[in-house]
Amino acid sequence: MRNRLHLIASAAMLLALTGTAHAEGKPALVIHGGAGVIRTSMTAEIEADVRKALRKALEAGYARLEAGQPALDAVTAAIVVLENDPNFNAGKGAVFAHDGRNKLDASIMDGKTRKAGAIAGVETVRNPILLARAVMEKSSFVMLAGTGAEEFARESGIALVDPSYFRTERRWQQLQKALAAPENPQASTGSDAYKHFGTVGALALDKSGSLAAGTSTGGMTNKRYDRIGDSPVIGAGTYADSRCAVSATGWGEFYIRTVAAHSICMRAEMLKQPLAEAAEFVINKDIPSLGGDGGAIVLGADGTIAAPFNTDGMFRGWIGMDGEIHVAIYADEDDSAD
């Protein structure tokens, strides 16, 4: 069905730093900068930039955790770093929609309270994750869209920018390529280093043992009709409860249909599967069985970390129970310290 399916068998990889029990008060942080990396089109320069940015995001988030701040603060801090970096499809580096505009989505969820905030299709919010958090904390709603979400942003004192802030030359060229091949609704950009997803996300476990999850994206290059993907859909792209946190990155439609993030947590909880096994099933079996692909990061309240994906690579990083920064891009460097 998809010419991307051939990747699954060869690249299905599972990172499972299986948590022993959550070392007392020991925090953890996991981030991703999107699946869909194509090895042959990466340059040494992009690789170096991405690794540097992932490290910076981990440092920003982990500092919050070490200072005793809640998991939500670490998630927000890490994602803001990635949103501000043009190498990722979120915030500054968001891809262009069909109409030549950048429409950003994000969501955040607090595992302890299961409170959540999400926004879809905003064009003037510098850091969508901060708006998602404001929706969670300052409104009676969970999900806001478009101009209404922007009105709420203004009233909440969230930093706004002119839409031109999101115009980067590389993303613009990706749209032009996609427009030149309109028969492909996925707008795969071929020789470019990025396919249709470069979403960013973060998961944190704080010293008190609480989890949080967040995801932010520019969506899909050449998306039309104010399409909403999985990133702002609680249960699909983002989910956290007291035991489990997930942020997904992939072909969003399949993540919505499989309620991917929630499915991973429910399998672990109800089937008593190890989190890594639950994530492996949803990402590398269930979603591909429908024709989709992508990856996810997963963090358990016991410190378990998993990051399955079925693409060439997934930008990712983590600081687990060893307290060390780990950064990886390709499948074959799993579990390696950077």
Element (H, E) at 215: strand 211-217
DSSP letter assigned to residue 309: B
Kindly report the number of other CB atoms within 10 A of residue 216's CB atom.
Answer: 34
Query: Alpha-carbon distance 120 to 131, whole Å?
Result: 10
Residue 72, token pair as written in the block: 């939500």
CB of 140 to its own copies, least distance (A): 4
Phi, psi for 160 (deg, rounded to 5): -110, 155
CB of 154 to its own copies, least distance (A): 10
CB of 259 to its own copies, least distance (A): 4
CB of 129 to its own copies, least distance (A): 17
* DSSP character string of 152-205: HHHHHT--B--GGGG--HHHHHHHHHHHH-TT-TT---TTSSB-S---EEEEEE
Nearer to its own copies, 38 or 236 (CB): 236
CB of 291 to its own copies, least distance (A): 10
Query: Alpha-carbon distance 28 to 321, whole Å?
Result: 7
CB of 153 to its own copies, least distance (A): 9
List C-alpha distances in Å: 112 to 40, 211, 212, 214, 243: 42, 7, 8, 14, 9
Nearer to its own copies, 13 or 119 (CB): 119
Which residues, 261 to 290, sit near its own copies by CB under 8 A?
262-263, 266-267, 270-271, 290
Binding-site size for its own copies (CB under 8 A) equals 46
Binding mask 169-198 for its own copies (x = CB under 8 A): ----------------xx------------
User: According to CB under 8 A, which one of 127, 189, 215, 258 is a site residue for its own copies?
Assistant: 258
User: Buried b / exposed e across 147-182, counting CB within 10 Å, b at 16+?
Assistant: eebbebbeeeebebeeeebbebeebeebbebbeeee
Using the rule CB under 8 A, give the single segment among 22-30, 74-82, 249-257, 310-318 that binds its own copies.
249-257
Which residues, 130 to 149, sit near its own copies by CB under 8 A?
139-149
Kindly report the number of other CB atoms within 10 A of residue 50's CB atom.
Answer: 24
Half-sphere exposure of 29 (CA within 13 A, CB side): 34
Rg (CA), the chain: 18
Nearer to its own copies, 61 or 237 (CB): 237
Active site residues: 199
Query: Alpha-carbon distance 213 to 9, whole Å?
Result: 28
Binding mask 219-248 for its own copies (x = CB under 8 A): ----xxxxxxx---xxxx--x---------
Using the rule CB under 8 A, give the single segment among 24-32, 112-120, 167-175, 318-326 that binds its own copies.
112-120
SS3 327: strand
Nearer to its own copies, 81 or 187 (CB): 187
Nearer to its own copies, 44 or 225 (CB): 225
Nearer to its own copies, 148 or 323 (CB): 148
Query: In the complex, which residues of this chain contact its own copies (CB under 8 A)?
Result: 109, 114-116, 120-121, 139-149, 151-152, 185-186, 223-229, 233-236, 239, 252-253, 256-259, 262-263, 266-267, 270-271, 290
